[in-house]
Amino acid sequence: MAHPNPHISGNPPVIRQLDEAAINRIAAGEVVERPASAVKELVENAIDAGATRISIDIGDGGKTLIRVTDDGCGIAPDDLALALSRHATSKIDGSDLLNIHTFGFRGEALPSLGAVGRLSITSRAAGQDAAQIRVDGGTTSAVKPAALRAGTTVELRDLFYATPARLKFLRTDRAESLAITDVIKRLAMAEPSIGFTLRDISGAGQGRVTFRADAETGDLFDALHARLARILGRDFADNSLAIDATRDGLRLFGYAALPTYSRGAAVAQYLFVNGRPVKDRMLTGALRGAYYDFLSRDRHPVAALFLDCDPELVDVNVHPAKSEVRFRDPALARGLIVSALRHALGNAGHRASSTVAAGVLGAMTPEPTGARVYQMDRPSLGARTAAYAAQAPGFGEMENQFSGRVVDVRDTCEDAQQADEQRPLGAARGQVHENYIIAQTATGMVIVDQHAAHERLVYEKLKAQMAENGVAAQALLIPEIVDLSEADAARLLEIAPDLARLGLTVEPFGGGAIAVREIPAILGEVNASAMIHDILDELADLGTSHSVQARIEAILSRVACHGSIRSGRRMRAEEMNALLREMEATPHSGQCNHGRPTYVELKLADIERLFGRT
């Protein structure tokens, strides 16, 4: 049986004007998706008001109560009713929607919240009396006097009570609370000079503080570093690199973690445009592109990056939630992020994350003995060398039974040994299981994975040679024709010069078809059509493509793997020390081609603590 078309009616449709309450509820569906959205809008209003301290109280994940208190400039009694009108704002005058310097500017949040919940605003502006206004499901009460010392308190109760269907789509109280905490953390990163306190007051009592960040002092980088250490943890602060780069009116600053300090999911990537937290595919793609040569596909970088520019260079009026932005020149923004991060990672040299050593120490920590052992002063270098040489024959006798080998320090002069110990990776002292080099530094010891370390060194050399000499191209005897849509063909031909530098030559072949005439010789026999479609998928997703370069570098990585020192090979003392010196001089040598650490450094104080010598 055929079903009637619901869009066909016997009576012509009638156009009617919706009432204000319906308009506000429709707008609330865009602006206020969940309690975290309401918290975001209210806290941003407090920041725009010049607050230095902001307190947020929530009940039942924000479903029954959201209260935001600030010490900002306040609202005059005569302006309270106007503040609840749609598109009424003090942020802009409407003459220029591209010159926006505040978080809010649309004038939709307060009337939308009042349309779907029970909203009250109590405020006191400087030199005026405090006043309060209430709106309940779109019905506004008269302004009345109130008691408040300064600033503004906005209280939202029973969110979505006026639209019960929306309540069914909310998640558990815990999930909504976590979403609110994430919103506050992002805004706290953007404003280190403001103090934030988040309190959960579900049930009876004073509740509990779930997040607190006091106002930080100092210059931009000191305050931001302290705030990030409080929010993301001391480990991130200790293993991150300061970023500060400028290009054509855009400035990028913030902190990005070392590749060896990575996560299993993209949950610790915080991006800001003109101080506004955003979730932008182009920016996250640029971040991923900057690390793609240092991390495997199942690892993700950690970063908090701030991109500042003239407001006219970016459009923040893309979506009512204001979490998306559109750049006038997206390629410029993306290029700045990639180049700045790669420059910082290159300057980090052989540095690896300290959390690697912490994990090793955690695995090695013995059960507490309870008795304190007093340690003698460490012997001098001469005494240690003599004792080491005296003990060497004993190790030599065990050589056939155990895989550990001791380097005879008598083979090298004492001055050279002492000089090597002062270097970051120290002087080689032995080899364990024919794969791990044990080196002694002035402050502890270093364990190096010889295969992983040499693999990275060879890989970097191959990349440098490729960059210097270019990528050899192999001409196809019969060009391969790939049929595409005209839009895809145009998008691909736009980056044809970039592909040609990587050895992939494509030309138009009429209509939407393109001809692949040359491919990178190092790739051997490839499916050109599949490669072209992979490139187009990356262009659609990220706005750029690393597909060809990634394939080439994957082969270089395999060549480096086969051409590096293998596990099981015994190395002489001079070979081990040469490897350590080359690691110190080569960028990115702190991690292998897959993002794993190539060495672990253990401080002497930590080693002595393992043996109860402190």
pLDDT, tens digit, 9 for 90 and up, residues 302-315: 999 999 998 888 88
Going by pLDDT thresholds of 50, 70 and 90, the confidence category of residue 230 is very high
Type of residue at 327: F
CA distance linking residue 277 with residue 41, whole number of Å: 12
CA distance linking residue 303 with residue 287, whole number of Å: 8
CA distance linking residue 298 with residue 293, whole number of Å: 13
C-alpha Rg value of the chain to the nearest Å: 31
Query: Which residue reads 């992020």 in tokens?
Result: 337
pLDDT per residue as tens digits for the range 574-590: 889 999 999 998 888 88
CA 190 to each of CA 307, 319, 365, 588, 595: distance values in angstroms, whole numbers, following the listed order: 11, 20, 39, 30, 29
Region of poorest pLDDT, from 218-222, 354-358, 567-571: 354-358
Q: Is residue 62 classed as helix, strand or coil in its secondary structure? A: helix
489 and 512 Cβ atoms separated by less than 8 Å: yes
pLDDT per residue as tens digits for the range 243-261: 999 999 999 999 999 888 8
CA distance linking residue 560 with residue 512, whole number of Å: 39
The whole-number pLDDT of residue 472 equals 82
CA distance linking residue 114 with residue 23, whole number of Å: 12
Residue 227 predicted with pLDDT over 90:
yes
For residue 208 the two structure tokens come to 């509990």
More confident residue, 604 or 213: 213
Region of poorest pLDDT, from 340-344, 455-459, 566-570: 566-570
Residue 299 predicted with pLDDT over 60:
yes
List domains and CATH numbers for the chain: 20-213 (3.30.565.10), 220-348 (3.30.230.10), 409-605 (3.30.1370.100)
Q: Are strands 269-273 and 303-308 parallel, antiparallel or unpaired?
A: parallel
Going by pLDDT thresholds of 50, 70 and 90, the confidence category of residue 213 is very high
Other Cβ atoms less than 10 A from the Cβ of 1: the count is 2
Residue 171 predicted with pLDDT over 80:
yes
Residue 394 predicted with pLDDT over 70:
no
CA distance linking residue 344 with residue 256, whole number of Å: 9
Q: Is residue 562 classed as helix, strand or coil in its secondary structure? A: helix
More confident residue, 375 or 606: 606
The whole-number pLDDT of residue 336 equals 93
CA 38 to each of CA 62, 186, 293: distance values in angstroms, whole numbers, following the listed order: 9, 15, 40
Q: Is residue 475 classed as helix, strand or coil in its secondary structure? A: strand
Q: Is residue 138 classed as helix, strand or coil in its secondary structure? A: coil
Query: Which residue reads 């955690």 in tokens?
Result: 362
Number of H helices, E strands in the chain: 20, 24
Q: Write b or e for each residue in 446-464: b if 16 or more Cβ atoms lie within 10 A of its Cβ, otherwise e.
A: bbbbbbbbbbbbbbbebbe
CA 23 to each of CA 26, 116, 138, 164: distance values in angstroms, whole numbers, following the listed order: 5, 11, 10, 17
CA distance linking residue 33 with residue 465, whole number of Å: 52
**Helices 35-48/109-116 angle, 10° precision:** 140
38 and 321 Cβ atoms separated by less than 8 Å: no
